[in-house]
Amino acid sequence: MEKIQNQKAWFLVLPALAVLFIFSAVIPLMTVVNYSVQDIFGQDYANAFFVGTEWFRDTIRDPELQAAFGRQLAFSVITLLIQIPLGVAIALAMPTRGIMVSVALVLVSLPLLIPWNVVGTGWLLFTRPDIGLLGVALNELGLDYNIQRNPVDAWLTVLVMDVWHWTSLTVLLAYAGLRAIPGAYYQAARVDGASRWAIFRYVELPRMRGVLLIAILLRFMDSFKLYAEPFVLTGGGPGTTTTFLSQYLATIGVGQFDLGRAAAFSLVYFLFILALSWLFYTVITRMDRE
């Protein structure tokens, strides 16, 4: 006998979902749109006047924004080029059975459990040239390491910090993809006398393609929201070396209180991430169909 499913319980959940959607998505978005097309002085809406796309034009033509976007794009691409291969390599080296599987998974997951501001604070202490373990060690080796004065040191330190913090996500996704490969594939490869590299290239890598695309999508999107770690570690400096898009947006909106430009910038920011997500989603679904 076919079991009849009762979907009436959804009517109890839909009001809560509707209220959550309105207050957490619709109202904030409409507020940002309102600010992006008007010039509002203080909290007096009576003195606001419509400016159309003026804030969007000023935002797109802003040379500091273009420089921040270039730094952000370069940082995101470099982190992906490091974290994806490194995450796959660590996943391949992890144990596949026994109690060590649980131990390895816990150890790998630890960086993901640390809050972003705590990561920045920890690395700030770690890299201090007077008391930090890394800072003192590098200076003892004859390197003039100081993230507050040297732009190269600051940029590389933020890069290493992000790799340390987020490579674990790629490791967990890659490990899950590896464990989902049926054992028959490995048995067939051993029967054919395939080498370890051949097994990785023709068996493991194709079967991990879906999870790796998800990892690339998540990490690329998340890297564009990078804010707390470099803000705590370097404050965006020296100069603007580590001022990425999120921090530049906060500087406009909070530091300069230029709400019109900040709203227009955030909408452009949102649409860029949305278009990128749609592109990755299209690629993933198309590859799944193939």
The pLDDT tens digits of the residues spanning 90-137 come to 999 998 888 888 899 999 999 998 888 889 889 999 998 888 888 889
Write down all domains in the chain, each with its CATH number in brackets.
Answer: 65-258 (1.10.3720.10)
Q: Which of 174, 199, 180, 178 is nearest to 189 (CA)?
A: 199
User: Tokens for 260?
Assistant: 């019109």
Q: How confident is the model at residue 31 (pLDDT cuts 50, 70, 90)?
A: confident
CA 270 – CA 28 distance, rounded (Å):
13
How far, CA to CA in Å, does 268 sit from each of 25, 53, 65, 197, 262? 17, 12, 11, 44, 10
Buried b vs exposed e over 143-167: b needs ≥16 C-beta within 10 Å? Answer: eebbbeebeebbbebbbebbbebbb
Backbone angles phi, psi at 161, to 5 degrees: -60, -45
Over residues 148-171, the pLDDT tens digits come to: 888 899 999 999 999 999 999 999
pLDDT grade for 45, boundaries at 50, 70 and 90 = low
pLDDT at residue 247 above 70?
A: yes
